[in-house]
Amino acid sequence: MILWIENASKMHTKHGNLVRSEATGRDMKIVANVLKRIRDDNYDDINPVFECRNKRLSSLTCDKEYYMLAVKYQAKRRQADIDYALDMMKKHLLSWWD
């Protein structure tokens, strides 16, 4: 599915003859990237968390600390990606043709 969506996205962007060809290609590329993220299952990657996140943006002299995401947040992020990909495909399926 990922391979087809990536190739169809390239074809819509390069050779599309519709007014919305670029937007369709962009939407397909987004869905392909979300599907890759779901497939790779990298939801437990280390994420930077700033200790000074509540301070003003002008004081960006804080040191970064890295924490692993809690399991409940990993599951929420994975489910949000699955829901987003399926909603996008459900919404645009009839307009995504070869």
List, run by run, the mean pLDDT of 10-residue segments along the chain (98 residues).
88 83 89 91 62 48 53 81 93 78
Nearest to 30 by CA among 81, 98, 90, 78: 81
Predicted confidence at residue 75, as pLDDT, reads 81
pTM: 0.68
**Position of tokens 């489910």?**
79
Q: How far apart are alpha carbons 47 and 9 in whole angstroms?
A: 30
Residue type, 78: R
Predicted confidence at residue 11, as pLDDT, reads 87
Residue 26 phi/psi, 5-degree rounding, is -65, -45
- List the chain domain ranges: 2-42+70-95
Tokens matching residue 74: 């990993």
Q: How far apart are alpha carbons 56 and 59 in whole angstroms?
A: 6
Predicted confidence at residue 59, as pLDDT, reads 46
Strand partners for 61: none
Predicted confidence at residue 17, as pLDDT, reads 80
